Amino acid sequence: MTPPSPVDEQVVDPHVSPSSRERSRFPRGLHSVVARLRLGMNRRSSLVVPPLALLSALIVGAVIVMLAGVGLGETLSAYRAMLDGSVGSVRAISETLTAATPLILAGLSVALAFRAGLFNIGGEGQMLIGGMFGVLIGFSLTGLPIFIHLPLAILAGCIGGALWGLIPGLLKARTGAHEVIVTIMLNFIALRLVDYGLKTSLFQREGRSDPISKNIEATAELPQLLGWLDSSLRVHLGLVVGLVAAGLIHWLLFRSTMGFEFRAVGANSTAARYAGMSISRAYILVMMLSGALAGLAGTGQVLGVLDRASPGFSAGIGFDGIAVALLGKSNPWGVVAAALLFGGLRAGGQEMQVSTGVGIDLIAVIQALIIIFVAAPAVIRALYRLKTTAEATRISRGWNS
């Protein structure tokens, strides 16, 4: 793991010019002392805030549960069940990793767009379209060996997601249409398209009247990682795909020219334009890549967990990706850590609902609270009387940007 660079921990701040950001990343001479001091402080604050945010969110969540008429003892046992369900056993850990896999990819998708100053709320739609592409290749090709069929299906998923991400990218670059509105609308359109597609003879399983797709071939399935231990452990190769993607995105953002351009456009698009970078090209490329990552998340779900597509199979993971990216401060490895946490919450939430009857929707509440506390570190600072210099997260500049 590469150590996270100092200022990059903050989500791009439009007020910091790219040059000063770069300078503090590569300290020289006297400047380095100052930079190192800032590094220490920034690192401490960015490391302290997320755990405190989690703690605060859990406390507020418990209050909500008790307000809904559940006693203190039961609430504590619900949280106990959540802990057991997330890390309490090999099966629980496998469930956590399974839930974390799509969250890593969806989180990377949002994080990459954040870095270029774009807010991709379209993860849901891109997951759905990508997953449909993946499932189509997964069941329609037969007789191929796994090392050809599986990569083909994954690639198809990437392409589907990239196409769905291309639309807001193109519209943003060409007409200035705000990507937030366009991606929200595309989510709804994708949802209806899937509903419709699953009822056509192309996708619908033979002899079924409800919208459900054919099962994918065994050669398109993402193999289980711990299948040799127990065949019911669901964690699959998608996890490795997610980790590799995190490494690639980290390289792209911080070690490549293209990534530098993306970040420059995100930090200050006017300055980037005067430096000769093409803003439109960056927008289009970023949205395509971001869509491809989300498409990969959807494909991972259909090829690794579900084996088929059903209406709304993205199950809100695309939205959770926003939370993951914010919590991970748009840093690829931070995203992985955040995805593991949210995966744990999801897996634990299942266990909590089954064994104590406290509804799994509580997880969404806790996640929303975590984002509030992470996005507004000043709240955490005020609550816990910390003396750190955490800045509020800012990624967009309204409709005018």
Q: Does 398 bind another protein (CB under 8 A)?
A: yes
CA dist 159 → 53, 61, 129, 147, 344 (Å): 36, 39, 9, 19, 29
Candidate residues 208, 378, 384, 389; the one interacting with another protein per rule CB under 8 A: 378
DSSP letter, residue 229: T
Distance CA 314, CA 310 (A): 9
Contact characters 102-141, another protein, x per CB under 8 A: -----------------x-x--------------------
Q: Figure out which of the listed residues 47, 72, 181, 240 binds another protein, where binding follows CB under 8 A.
A: 181
Does position 176 bind another protein by CB under 8 A? Answer: yes
Residue 223 touches another protein, criterion: CB under 8 A? no
Examine residue 64 and tell whether it contacts another protein (CB under 8 A). yes
Four-residue CA torsion sign, 57, 59, 62, 63: negative
**Residue 309 binds another protein, judged by CB under 8 A:** no
Among 201, 209, 231, 400, binds another protein (CB under 8 A): 400
| Residues with Cβ within 8 Å of residue 101, at least 6 apart in sequence | 235, 236, 238, 239, 241, 242, 297, 300, 304, 339, 343
Q: Which tokens belong to 13? A: 């701040």
270 to 116, 258, 264, 266, 275: CA distances (angstroms): 13, 17, 9, 10, 9
Q: Does residue 349 contact residue 97 with C-beta atoms inside 8 Å? A: no
- Lay out the site mask for another protein across 250-289 (x = CB under 8 A, - = otherwise): ----------------------------------------
Minimum distance from residue 95 beta carbon to another protein (Å)? 20
How many chain residues are in contact with another protein, going by CB under 8 A? 56
Q: Name residue 399's beta-bridge partners.
A: 397
Q: What's the closest the beta carbon of residue 200 comes to another protein, in angstroms?
A: 9
217 versus 351: smaller Cβ distance to another protein? 351
SS3 label, residue 213: strand
Q: Name the residues that contact another protein, by CB under 8 A.
A: 64-65, 68-70, 119, 121, 171, 174-178, 180-182, 184-186, 188-189, 192-193, 195-196, 199, 319, 322-323, 326, 358-359, 361-365, 367-369, 371-372, 375-376, 378-379, 392-401
